[in-house]
């Protein structure tokens, strides 16, 4: 796990930091990940509770069993409301006891499933500030948060409660996050009823003439954190990036406008920069949306794909780069002198991340906007994002850096 401190001296990244979405069972054995978020997988509340008090766990059982088999941690999202409990799936049930009963049934089932923990964490709702998923008030969403916390304490104290996820792209969405975080339920601030905050960190498809990318996503994270600070949410509450991808067009979840396609190299760079920057800026888990993304109107809604959209049995170069990200981040990301977090950038926008593993140092460099040349002393080799290794035999080397991250080993190889 990544250290939760926002100004930690170093950050260690474990395999569970690397999360994805997948309901196809195809990602296992094809890409490397340690956590899965079950959303858009046929496992919403209304899909499980088929009539009052009757639950069909077949689909969810199969997904949990597959995750257990591969040592992957499961997060279950607990919305949306069945039609027989409310007029809309985007509001809480008229009688909150029905939500309590469902949460209790899920926790009792997956506390010990097949002799092992089934579900690691339970998320209260999906994207509470997006009207396709929630149209009630911030206070009503806080009430559901308290219910999940209370049932967890009674049924499965080992599980973790994840706050509702929130979109962060728009200022209005960030205001909604602040409104939720300022709620009090049961005499306590709502943050006392969850363990982890959750954000959908989709940046805009374009910012002027350029495409949105990982650096824009972490800017959204910084803005949300300012609101969390104002609401008094302690820094000890970690943040998970529960959805992320790039190129999503305006229009919300109902849009069918495909993203503008980008090259395979840019897709690989997006994955590497996302997970590296996420770790460096204090996210403790990042879930890519999604592995099993099919085509819509001749394209895909996100532009960075972990699998071939026409054949999910084929991982893409971007999907395979999850392994590269894990290998590059082995050890500890360390804060450079004069900065308060790893992966600082200089005045021309070149990011430099230092990773210490034992006595060896590695540097990960990229510049998302331009091509630059960086002079380094003591470099012994460089590895590009395709994994190609080049030995460096001069004491002071000049490294070409662009949007594609490059790893440079310093001193003896790790």
Q: What pairing do the DSSP bridges indicate for beta strands 332-334 and 160-167?
A: unpaired
Q: Which helix (H) or strand (E) holds 11?
A: strand 10-12
Burial class (CB in 10 A: 0-12, 13-18, 19+), 164: buried
Domains defined along the chain, listed by start: 10-330 (3.20.20.80), 346-410 (2.60.40)
For residue 256, the model assigns a pLDDT of 87
Q: How many residues does the chain have?
A: 414
pLDDT string in tens for the chain (414-residue length): 343 334 456 799 999 999 999 999 999 999 999 999 999 999 999 999 999 999 999 999 999 999 999 999 999 999 999 999 999 999 999 999 999 999 999 999 999 999 999 999 999 999 999 999 999 999 999 999 999 999 999 999 999 999 999 999 999 999 999 999 999 999 999 999 999 999 999 999 999 999 999 999 999 999 999 999 999 999 999 999 999 999 999 876 677 899 999 999 999 999 999 999 999 999 999 999 999 999 999 999 999 999 999 999 999 999 999 999 999 999 999 987 777 788 999 999 999 999 999 888 999 999 999 999 999 999 999 999 999 999 999 888 999 999 999 999 997 544
Q: pLDDT tens, 139-169?
A: 999 999 999 999 999 999 999 999 999 999 9
For residue 255, the model assigns a pLDDT of 78
For residue 6, the model assigns a pLDDT of 43
Count of CB atoms situated within 10 Å of the CB of 322: 24
Query: At 46, is the secondary structure helix, strand, or coil?
Result: helix
Distance between CA atoms of residues 98 and 297, nearest Å:
39
Q: From 86, 80, 88, 97, select the one nearest 147 (Cα to Cα).
A: 97
Q: Which two tokens stand for residue 172?
A: 């209005």
Q: From 49, 65, 142, select the one nearest 103 (Cα to Cα).
A: 49
167 beta partners: 200
Q: What pairing do the DSSP bridges indicate for beta strands 54-55 and 49-51?
A: antiparallel
For residue 9, the model assigns a pLDDT of 65
Q: pLDDT tens, 119-138?
A: 999 999 999 999 999 999 99
Distance between CA atoms of residues 297 and 358, nearest Å:
50
Distance between CA atoms of residues 394 and 408, nearest Å:
13
């Amino acid at each position: 796990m990544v250290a939760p401190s926002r100004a930690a001296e170093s950050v260690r990244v474990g395999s569970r930091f690397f999360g994805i979405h997948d309901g196809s069972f195809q990602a296992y054995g094809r890409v490397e990940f340690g956590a899965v978020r079950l959303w858009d997988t046929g496992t919403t509340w209304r899909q499980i509770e088929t009539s009052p008090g009757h639950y069909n766990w077949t689909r969810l059982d199969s997904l949990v069993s597959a995750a257990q088999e591969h040592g992957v941690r499961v997060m279950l999202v607990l919305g949306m409301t069945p039609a027989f409990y409310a007029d809309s799936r985007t509001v809480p049930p008229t009688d909150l006891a029905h939500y309590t009963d469902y949460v209790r049934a899920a926790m009792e089932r997956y506390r010990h499933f097949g002799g092992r923990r089934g579900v690691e964490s339970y998320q209260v709702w999906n994207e509470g500030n997006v009207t396709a998923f929630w149209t009630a008030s911030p206070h009503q969403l806080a009430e559901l948060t308290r219910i999940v916390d209370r049932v967890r304490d009674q049924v499965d104290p080992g599980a973790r409660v994840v706050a509702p996820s929130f979109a962060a792209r728009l200022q209005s969405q960030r205001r909604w996050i602040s409104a939720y975080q300022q709620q009090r339920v049961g005499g306590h601030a709502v943050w006392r009823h969850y363990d982890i905050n959750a954000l959908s960190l989709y940046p805009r498809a374009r910012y002027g003439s350029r495409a949105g990318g990982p650096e824009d996503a972490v800017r959204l994270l910084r803005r949300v954190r300012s609101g969390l600070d104002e609401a008094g949410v302690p820094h000890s509450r970690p943040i998970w990036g529960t959805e992320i991808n790039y190129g999503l067009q305006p229009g919300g979840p109902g849009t069918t406008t495909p993203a503008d396609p980008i090259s395979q190299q840019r897709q690989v760079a997006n994955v590497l920069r996302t997970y590296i920057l996420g770790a460096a800026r204090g996210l403790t888990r990042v879930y890519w949306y999604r592995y099993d993304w099919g085509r819509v109107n001749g394209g895909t809604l996100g532009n960075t794909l972990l699998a071939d959209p026409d054949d999910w049995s084929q991982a893409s170069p971007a999907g395979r780069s999850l392994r590269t990200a894990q290998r590059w981040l082995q050890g500890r990301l360390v804060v450079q002198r004069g900065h308060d977090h790893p992966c600082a950038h200089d005045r021309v926008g070149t990011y430099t991340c230092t990773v210490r593993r034992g006595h060896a140092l590695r540097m990960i460099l990229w510049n998302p906007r331009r091509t630059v040349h960086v002079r380094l002393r003591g470099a012994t080799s460089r590895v590009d994002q395709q994994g190609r290794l080049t030995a460096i035999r001069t004491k002071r080397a000049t490294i070409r850096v662009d949007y594609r991250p490059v790893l440079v080993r310093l001193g003896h190889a790790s």
